[in-house]
């Protein structure tokens, strides 16, 4: 049957292998669970149809065997009644029903085998779905922890980069301070030396001039060279 070929992979399904191939376990497990649930609904319908076919062929086999038993009983009664011709008719009918019964038995055997396989697939799929549901929360928890760890790793990396930037700024600040100190020292070295005597000269220049004028006036007075007043 086509349905058996279609769902033969369900019997061979290995959930562990499928989970290993998932890129995003949390999303893929939900997607796979949805697909399996849809498959289960179809398998249930198909299994019910196959089991119904098994029941129908079994009913035909039972009816055929009942008919065979009936005509065998009639043949015996005919012989007991001394009517061999009638017995032959009943035996011939019994043989005809036995030939039909052989075909019915073959059909029933195939229907039974198909029903067993479909039931196996149904039970396997139900078991896989229950296993997947039981593991879904565990997988989600692991994914959540993994995402938290990834976030922590990213924050740690950012913190390390920030620390590196702070160290770089500290080095630049120290370098700028050193450059300023060197510039100030160079400016001090380039300045002309201070002549202390020259600096003090300006301080006392006014006083020297005053002393000269006083001494000149005194000399003029001694020599009688005072200024004449106009008449």
Q: Is residue 192 part of a domain?
A: no
Question: Cβ neighbours of residue 48 under 8 Å, at least 6 residues apart?
Answer: none
**What is the pTM assigned to this prediction?**
0.47
**What residue has token string 């007075």?**
221
How confident is the model over 190-209, as a mean pLDDT?
63
Residue in the structure block whose two tokens are 């007043």:
229
- The answer, yes or no, to whether residue 1 has pLDDT greater than 50, is no
Q: At what angle do helices 25-80 and 84-190 cross, to 10 degrees?
A: 170
pLDDT digits (tens, 9 = 90+) for 34-68: 887 887 888 888 888 888 989 999 999 999 999 99
In a domain, 23, yes or no: yes
Q: Decide if 76 is inside a domain.
A: yes
Residue 199: the pLDDT is 62
Tell me, yes or no, whether 188 lies in a domain: no
Between 206 and 69, the more confident residue is 69
Q: Is residue 47 part of a domain?
A: yes
The verdict on residue 227 lying in a domain is no
How many other CB atoms sit within 10 Å of the CB of residue 41? 10
Q: What's the total number of domains in the chain?
A: 1
Round to whole Å and give the CA distance between 10 and 2. Answer: 14
* Phi (first) and psi of residue 199, to 5 degrees: -65, -40
On the question of pLDDT at 210 being above 80, the answer is no
- Position 16 in a domain: yes
**How far separated are the first and last CA of the chain, in Å rounded?**
162
In a domain, 39, yes or no: yes
Give the C-alpha separation, 24 to 11, whole Å.
25
Structural domain boundaries enclosing 55: 2-160
């Amino acid at each position: 049957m086509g349905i058996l070929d279609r769902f033969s992979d369900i019997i061979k399904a290995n959930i562990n292998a499928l989970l290993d191939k998932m890129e995003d376990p949390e999303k893929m497990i939900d997607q796979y669970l949805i697909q399996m649930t849809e498959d289960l609904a179809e398998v249930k319908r198909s299994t019910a149809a196959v089991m119904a076919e098994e029941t129908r062929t079994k009913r035909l086999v039972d009816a055929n065997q009942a008919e065979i038993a009936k005509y065998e009983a009639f043949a015996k009664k005919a012989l007991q009644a001394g009517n061999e011709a009638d017995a032959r008719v009943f035996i011939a009918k019994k043989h005809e029903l036995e030939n039909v019964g052989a075909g019915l038995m073959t059909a029933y055997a195939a229907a039974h085998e198909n029903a067993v396989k479909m039931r196996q697939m149904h039970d396997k799929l139900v078991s896989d779905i229950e296993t997947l549901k039981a593991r879904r929360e565990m997988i989600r928890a692991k994914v959540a922890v993994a995402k938290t760890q990834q976030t922590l790793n990213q924050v740690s990396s950012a913190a390390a980069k920030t620390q590196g930037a702070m160290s770089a700024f500290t080095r630049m600040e120290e370098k700028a301070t050193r450059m300023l100190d060197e510039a100030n020292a160079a400016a001090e070295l380039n300045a002309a030396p201070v002549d202390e005597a020259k600096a003090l000269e300006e301080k006392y220049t006014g006083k020297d001039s005053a002393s000269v004028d006083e001494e000149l006036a005194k000399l003029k007075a001694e020599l009688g060279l005072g200024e004449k007043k106009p008449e």
